Structure 1
């Protein structure tokens, strides 16, 4: 019966080996899915970064325009005050 015992042992070892292969394949698929999810998150973050950089550029340009408008208004107010003083002094 040693032949049967050996055959059973081989079948058991084969079953264990197949289970190990299945577990390794499942772990590999899980790692691949995790990698795909991480890659998608990186792409979303890059898109957000690009959008935020564009919004920052627009905000900076708007800030510069407002600063120039503020300077122009200030110059006009000074001119108006000087004109009013000159008229009052006459």
Structure 2
């Protein structure tokens, strides 16, 4: 072969090597991007699920707080009633205050 042809083949080989490396980098970048998109979607799904669970927990908490307030009020009324009955029976001195 002639030196010009050998030189051209070497340049072509180098160019093909650079092209292959560029394609490999591009494919790897696309794969990483796809992995990141998948991970982002999973995180968004988890966030939506957790938001739903949090809403449910807050609703239950509000119901428990309302029930606690109701029970507390009933206990105060019961204590007052018992104190009144004991006072009427002469078993308890009236509280000052």
Same fold (TM over 0.5): yes
Find 1:46's aligned residue among 35, 44, 55: 44
Q: Distance in 2 between matches of 1:18 and 1:82?
A: 94
Partner of 2:16: 18
Q: More relative contact order in 1 or in 2 (CA 8 Å, sep 6+)? A: 2
- The C-alpha deviation readout for 1:27-73, integer Å capped at 9, x for no partner, is 00000001001101101110111111111101110110010000000
Cα RMSD (Å): 1.0
Runs of at least 4 residues off by over 6 Å:
none
Q: SS state of the match for residue 66, structure 1?
A: helix
Deviating more after overlay: 3-12 vs 66-75: 3-12
Unaligned runs of 5+ in 1: none
Number of aligned positions between the proteins: 88
Unaligned runs of 5+ in 2: 89-97
